[in-house]
Amino acid sequence: MADISKQVIIEVPNETVFKYVSDPHNAPHYITSITKIVSGPQGAPAEGQVWRAEANFMGRSSTINLRLTALRANQLVQFTIEGDPQATLTLRLATDEANTRTRISILLDVPSVPAILLNMLMGGMLEADMGRLKKILEG
């Protein structure tokens, strides 16, 4: 089992961050591996919903299913990437007492890829993804 995680502090309220990251249509704007949402439900996302997406993982383009497997308001968003390779993307959110800042952690779990290879290939990209998310949300 291989996983990699990164985190960032975003200077906006938790609800704003949660609303943005729970909508898979926003994923191509900050997740490098997901290049386009092709089809799927519109409106407020709900657990169990599935979107078709174009993805690029480790230099290979493919069409995947992006399934919303867990959703806890202002705390957790989890997507399962159904394709080759299978992966789980988990976003955990925490806020400060004044709810003016949000700490977001992203965890990518790719069981079929050795940990050292995942870190080499995805470490910098995942960090850049978190930086892009911060820039988008802070304006």
pLDDT tens-place string over residues 85-114 = 788 999 999 998 888 999 999 988 887 776
Tell me the C-alpha distance between 12 and 14, whole Å.
7
DSSP state, residue 96 = -
pLDDT tens-place string over residues 41-89 = 999 999 999 999 999 876 788 999 999 999 999 999 999 999 877 889 9
Tell me the C-alpha distance between 123 and 139, whole Å.
24
Three-state DSSP at 33 gives coil
Separation of CA 98 from chain center: 25
pLDDT tens-place string over residues 10-54 = 999 999 999 999 999 999 999 988 999 999 999 999 999 999 999
Residue whose C-alpha is closest to residue 94's, from 78, 76, 109: 76
pTM: 0.89
Tell me the C-alpha distance between 132 and 128, whole Å.
6
